[in-house]
């Protein structure tokens, strides 16, 4: 039985971390934390922030989406689903450092957090046409040095955070030996989401989880639907706070067949 005061401290630490990486504490104004969206401070049409660089969040995720990561990590640990955790499309690294903090807070041994990104933004689609992402002027660029510094500032940068730099087409094929309990795909465009599924989905363990961040974006959604249809994947999708999540119900290594 865990010490109740330790549980309360862990809850408080993780809650404070969520408020900090979203910069709710500074940007929240009148909004409750549940309702707060940092992107309300972002001008989508102009493709730029309305706030100065120092007050920008280090994750675009909202509370409910961070809660989903926490639930997913705990479930994978409880069920002993083998493998590490990964985010493909990390921007400034807030979700990665949150996953690393979860390992610490829940004393989860052995697993690592993989962080895959170009550190050069979202490349233009070559396979998809009419993906609105191609009209974005802000490609969500953050350098690897910046991400490392962001994670280090929270005291969470160590060998259990594994960087996978490069555009997915080049970087992900080399991951063939890894196994994952949780992959979180947050790369916005049709091509990027399709490529990440192509290389990473076969590495997800049976019972592992796939979280798709950009379920509201048409290109991303289409990429997921096309991939699932191509491989006959029918594992039910649940929607949670504008994210999609499903549990992979077939054996590690082989994509599902219809
Ligand atoms: C919206 S941001 C991710 C937000 C982040 N998960 C967070 O917590 O705020 C999208 C990221 O995907 C990355 N990305 C998109 N397409 C990529 C590709 N084909 N290869 C590598 N990185 C890519 C971009 O560099 C960017 O950092």
Task: Note the pLDDT tens digit of each residue in 53-92.
Answer: 999 999 999 999 999 999 999 999 999 999 999 999 999 9
Ligand 1: centre distance to CA 230 (Å): 24
Ligand 1: centre distance to CA 92 (Å): 9
> Which pLDDT tens digit goes with each residue over 191-219?
999 999 999 999 999 999 999 999 999 99
Q: Are 164 and 116 in contact (CB under 8 A)?
A: yes
**Residue 90 three-state SS:** coil
Instruction: Name the residue at shortest CA distance from atom 19 of ligand 1.
Output: 192
Q: Ligand 1 site: residues with CB under 6 angstroms?
A: 59-61, 87, 89-91, 94-95, 117-118, 121-123, 140, 167-168, 186-188, 192, 195
Q: Which atom of ligand 1 is nearest to the CA of 93?
A: 8
Question: What pLDDT sits at residue 3?
Answer: 87
Q: Are 22 and 94 in contact (CB under 8 A)?
A: yes
Q: What average pLDDT is seen over the chain?
A: 95
Query: Distance between CA atoms of 168 and 170, rounded to whole angstroms?
Result: 5
Q: Among 49, 63, 89, which residue has the most ligand 1 atoms within 8 Å of its CB, making it the best to mutate?
A: 89
User: Domain 61-247: which topology?
Assistant: Rossmann fold (3.40.50)
Q: Among 100, 118, 161, which residue has the most ligand 1 atoms within 8 Å of its CB, making it the best to mutate?
A: 118
Confidence of residue 257 (pLDDT cuts 50, 70, 90): very low
Phi, psi of 192, rounded to the nearest 5 degrees = -65, -40
Scored b (16 or more CB within 10 A) or e, 13-41 reads ebeebbbbbbbbeebeeeeeeeebbbeee
Q: Which atom of ligand 1 is nearest to the CA of 117?
A: 22
Residue 187 has pLDDT above 70, yes or no: yes
Helix (H) or strand (E) holding 107: none
Instruction: Name the residue at shortest CA distance from atom 24 of ligand 1.
Output: 121
Ligand 1: centre distance to CA 9 (Å): 32
Confidence of residue 248 (pLDDT cuts 50, 70, 90): very high
> Which pLDDT tens digit goes with each residue over 10-19?
999 999 999 9
Question: What pLDDT sits at residue 258?
Answer: 38
Residue 251 has pLDDT above 80, yes or no: no
Report in angstroms the alpha-carbon separations of 188 from 17, 79, 193, 224, 257: 25, 30, 7, 11, 26
Confidence of residue 146 (pLDDT cuts 50, 70, 90): very high
Question: What pLDDT sits at residue 34?
Answer: 97
């Amino acid at each position: 039985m865990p010490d109740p005061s330790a549980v309360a401290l862990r809850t408080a630490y993780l809650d404070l971390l969520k408020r900090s990486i979203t910069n709710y504490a500074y940007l929240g104004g009148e909004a409750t934390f549940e309702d707060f969206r940092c992107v309300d401070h972002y001008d989508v049409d102009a493709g730029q922030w309305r706030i100065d660089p120092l007050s920008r969040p280090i994750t675009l995720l909202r509370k409910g989406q961070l809660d989903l990561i926490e639930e997913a990590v705990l479930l994978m640990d409880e069920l002993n689903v083998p493998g590490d955790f990964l985010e493909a499309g990390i921007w400034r690294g807030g979700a990665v450092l949150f996953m690393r903090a979860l390992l610490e807070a829940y004393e989860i041994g052995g697993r690592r957090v993989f962080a895959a990104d170009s550190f050069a933004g979202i490349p233009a689609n070559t396979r998809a046409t009419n993906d609105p992402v191609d009209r974005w002027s802000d490609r969500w660029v953050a350098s690897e040095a910046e991400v490392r510094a962001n994670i280090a500032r929270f005291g969470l940068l160590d060998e259990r955070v594994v960087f996978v730099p490069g555009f997915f087409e080049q970087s992900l094929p080399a991951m063939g030996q890894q196994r994952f309990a949780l992959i979180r795909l947050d790369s916005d465009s049709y091509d990027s989401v399709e490529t990440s599924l192509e290389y990473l989905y076969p590495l997800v363990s049976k019972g592992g989880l796939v979280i798709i961040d950009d379920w509201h974006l048409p290109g991303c959604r289409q990429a997921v639907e096309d991939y699932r249809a191509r491989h006959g994947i029918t594992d039910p999708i649940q929607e949670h706070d504008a994210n999609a999540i499903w549990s992979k119900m077939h054996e590690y290594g082989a994509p599902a067949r219809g």
